[in-house]
Every structure is written in C-alpha cells, then in structure tokens.
Amino acid sequence: MGIRDRGGTARAGIGGVARAVASAPGLRLAGVMTVAPLTGVHAGNPGAAFERLMEISRNLRTIDPAATMVSAGMSGDLEAAIVAGATHVRVGSAGLGVRAALG
C-alpha cells in the first residue's frame, strides 16, 4: 500500500474477523470504522460509503450485539457521517489545522 491507500478487512472477511475478535480472551469487539474511500465505486461520495458502513454494522451486530460503535467521517465529511448514523467522528484538521504530508 502507498501513502494514499486506505485498507482494512474486505467485506467478505468481516464475519470471520468479527468472530475471531469476539471469541478471543481479553478482546472486545466495539464496532466498525471507515474513512471515505479515495478510489472505487464510492470515491467522491462519502455519504454512500457511510450508508454501506451502517449496513455492515447492522450485520455485524448479528454476530456480536454489543458491537455498536460506528466510527466514520473526518473533518471534511463529518456531516455525511453523522447523517448516516456514525456514533464517532474524527475532527483532526478542523481542530488542529492541516499538517504537512508524510513522506
């Protein structure tokens, strides 16, 4: 992955990861997290990406009902995340200012 790539668990693997975390001693599955994609079908449409995350979150709760956290959105798209139902947002650059790029 390059510095502009964003990754995580592919949708097809979420159930397996969730079951592994939920059954591991000392771990608690809190929920899901995403940032708006830079490429792909939802690039430039964070609202659609966050709606998809909400669907994934609902499905996840069939595995672990306590996994209610939905972390989505950053300073530039937090309104779309809130509209979609995010329980947590990240407001780094809005509070701290724009930082120099890494690399």
What does the pLDDT look like over 67-88, one tens digit per residue?
999 999 888 898 999 999 999 9
What are the structure tokens assigned to 102, written together?
């890494």
Tokens 């609902």 belong to: 58
* pLDDT at residue 90, rounded to an integer: 85
Which among 74, 1, 64 is positioned nearest to 35, based on CA atoms?
Answer: 74
- Entry pTM: 0.79
The residues with which 32 forms a beta bridge, in sequence order, are: 70
Task: Find all residues with CB under 8 Å of 90, minimum gap 6, and list them.
Answer: 71, 73, 74, 75, 78
Tokens 């964003």 belong to: 6
The domain defined by 11-96 carries CATH number 3.20.20.10: yes
pLDDT digit string, tens, across residues 22-81: 899 999 999 999 888 888 888 889 999 999 999 999 999 998 999 999 999 888 898 999
**CA separation, residue 44 to residues 24, 36, 38, 74, 76 (Å):** 37, 8, 7, 14, 12
Does residue 28 or residue 6 have the better pLDDT? 28
Indicate if the alpha-carbon torsion angle 73, 78, 82, 87 is positive or negative.
Answer: positive
* pLDDT at residue 83, rounded to an integer: 95
